[in-house]
Protein backbone atom coordinates (compact mmCIF):
# COMPACT_ATOMS: atom_id res chain seq x y z
CA UNK A 1 0.00 0.00 0.00
CA UNK A 2 2.75 2.42 0.96
CA UNK A 3 4.70 1.87 -2.27
CA UNK A 4 1.56 2.22 -4.39
CA UNK A 5 0.54 5.48 -2.76
CA UNK A 6 4.10 6.79 -3.00
CA UNK A 7 4.00 6.01 -6.72
CA UNK A 8 0.73 7.94 -7.11
CA UNK A 9 2.35 10.90 -5.35
CA UNK A 10 5.32 10.73 -7.70
CA UNK A 11 2.96 10.68 -10.69
CA UNK A 12 1.16 13.79 -9.40
CA UNK A 13 -2.14 11.97 -8.84
CA UNK A 14 -1.97 12.63 -5.08
CA UNK A 15 -0.90 16.05 -3.88
CA UNK A 16 -0.14 17.74 -0.55
CA UNK A 17 -3.26 18.22 1.51
CA UNK A 18 -5.10 15.61 -0.53
CA UNK A 19 -7.46 12.92 0.63
CA UNK A 20 -6.86 9.19 0.21
CA UNK A 21 -10.09 7.20 0.04
CA UNK A 22 -9.73 3.65 1.34
CA UNK A 23 -12.29 0.84 1.20
CA UNK A 24 -11.04 -2.01 3.36
CA UNK A 25 -11.99 -5.48 4.44
CA UNK A 26 -12.42 -5.56 8.25
CA UNK A 27 -9.78 -7.74 9.89
CA UNK A 28 -6.00 -7.97 9.79
CA UNK A 29 -5.64 -7.86 6.00
CA UNK A 30 -7.67 -4.71 5.39
CA UNK A 31 -6.81 -2.90 8.60
CA UNK A 32 -3.06 -3.40 8.10
CA UNK A 33 -3.34 -1.89 4.63
CA UNK A 34 -5.40 0.97 6.08
CA UNK A 35 -2.54 1.65 8.49
CA UNK A 36 -0.27 1.94 5.45
CA UNK A 37 -2.60 4.55 3.95
CA UNK A 38 -2.64 6.45 7.24
CA UNK A 39 1.16 6.32 7.43
CA UNK A 40 1.53 7.81 3.94
CA UNK A 41 -1.10 10.45 4.68
CA UNK A 42 0.67 11.43 7.90
CA UNK A 43 4.08 11.60 6.23
CA UNK A 44 2.85 13.70 3.31
CA UNK A 45 0.34 16.04 4.94
CA UNK A 46 -2.74 14.25 3.65
CA UNK A 47 -5.80 12.74 5.23
CA UNK A 48 -7.59 9.41 4.88
CA UNK A 49 -11.30 8.86 4.48
CA UNK A 50 -11.84 5.16 5.20
CA UNK A 51 -14.88 2.93 4.97
CA UNK A 52 -15.13 -0.79 5.67
CA UNK A 53 -16.37 -2.71 2.65
CA UNK A 54 -20.13 -3.23 2.82
CA UNK A 55 -22.82 -4.60 0.55
CA UNK A 56 -23.80 -1.16 -0.74
CA UNK A 57 -20.64 0.02 -2.46
CA UNK A 58 -22.50 2.94 -4.07
CA UNK A 59 -23.00 4.58 -0.67
CA UNK A 60 -19.33 4.11 0.14
CA UNK A 61 -18.12 5.51 -3.17
CA UNK A 62 -20.51 8.46 -2.80
CA UNK A 63 -19.17 9.14 0.71
CA UNK A 64 -15.56 9.03 -0.49
CA UNK A 65 -16.37 11.35 -3.36
CA UNK A 66 -18.09 13.75 -0.91
CA UNK A 67 -14.92 13.62 1.21
CA UNK A 68 -13.05 14.82 -1.92
CA UNK A 69 -10.90 11.70 -2.18
CA UNK A 70 -8.34 12.10 -4.94
CA UNK A 71 -7.93 8.34 -5.22
CA UNK A 72 -9.65 5.29 -3.82
CA UNK A 73 -7.58 2.29 -2.82
CA UNK A 74 -9.10 -1.08 -2.02
CA UNK A 75 -8.11 -3.93 0.22
CA UNK A 76 -11.02 -6.22 -0.47
CA UNK A 77 -11.97 -9.52 -2.02
CA UNK A 78 -12.25 -9.88 -5.78
CA UNK A 79 -16.05 -9.79 -5.58
CA UNK A 80 -16.02 -6.66 -3.41
CA UNK A 81 -13.62 -4.97 -5.81
CA UNK A 82 -15.99 -5.73 -8.72
CA UNK A 83 -18.88 -4.27 -6.70
CA UNK A 84 -16.95 -1.08 -5.97
CA UNK A 85 -15.96 -0.56 -9.61
CA UNK A 86 -19.51 -1.33 -10.78
CA UNK A 87 -20.88 1.16 -8.26
CA UNK A 88 -18.51 3.83 -9.58
CA UNK A 89 -19.67 3.20 -13.14
CA UNK A 90 -23.36 3.22 -12.13
CA UNK A 91 -22.92 6.50 -10.26
CA UNK A 92 -21.39 8.14 -13.32
CA UNK A 93 -24.30 7.03 -15.47
CA UNK A 94 -26.83 8.32 -12.93
CA UNK A 95 -25.38 11.84 -12.93
CA UNK A 96 -25.87 13.83 -16.16
CA UNK A 97 -22.58 15.27 -17.34
CA UNK A 98 -20.51 13.11 -14.98
CA UNK A 99 -16.81 13.06 -15.78
CA UNK A 100 -13.99 10.60 -15.28
CA UNK A 101 -15.02 7.51 -17.20
CA UNK A 102 -13.08 4.42 -16.21
CA UNK A 103 -10.40 3.62 -18.77
CA UNK A 104 -7.69 0.96 -18.91
CA UNK A 105 -5.16 3.61 -17.88
CA UNK A 106 -7.38 5.00 -15.10
CA UNK A 107 -5.53 5.58 -11.86
CA UNK A 108 -8.56 5.26 -9.61
CA UNK A 109 -9.27 8.98 -9.55
CA UNK A 110 -12.63 10.30 -8.49
CA UNK A 111 -13.15 13.48 -10.48
CA UNK A 112 -15.18 16.21 -8.73
What is the set of domains in the chain, with CATH numbers? Answer: 8-94 (3.40.50.2300)
On the CB side of 35, how many CA atoms lie within 13 Å of its CA?
Answer: 7
Predicted pLDDT at 93 = 64
Q: CA-CA distance, 84 to 64, in Å (whole number)?
A: 12
Q: Per-residue pLDDT for 39 more than 80?
A: yes
Q: Per-residue pLDDT averaged across 41-57, rounded?
A: 90
Report pTM. Answer: 0.76
- C-beta of residue 101 within 8 angstroms of C-beta of residue 90: no
Predicted pLDDT at 36 = 95
| Closest C-alpha among 31, 107, 35, 112 to residue 69 | 112
Between the CA atoms of 111, 88, 61 and 100, what dihedral angle is there, to the nearest 10 degrees? 0
With cut-offs at 50, 70 and 90, classify the pLDDT of residue 89. Answer: confident
Amino acid sequence: MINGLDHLCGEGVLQDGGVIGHLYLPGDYGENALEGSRFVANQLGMSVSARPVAKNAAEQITALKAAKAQVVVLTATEAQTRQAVAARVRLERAVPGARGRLRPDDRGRLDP
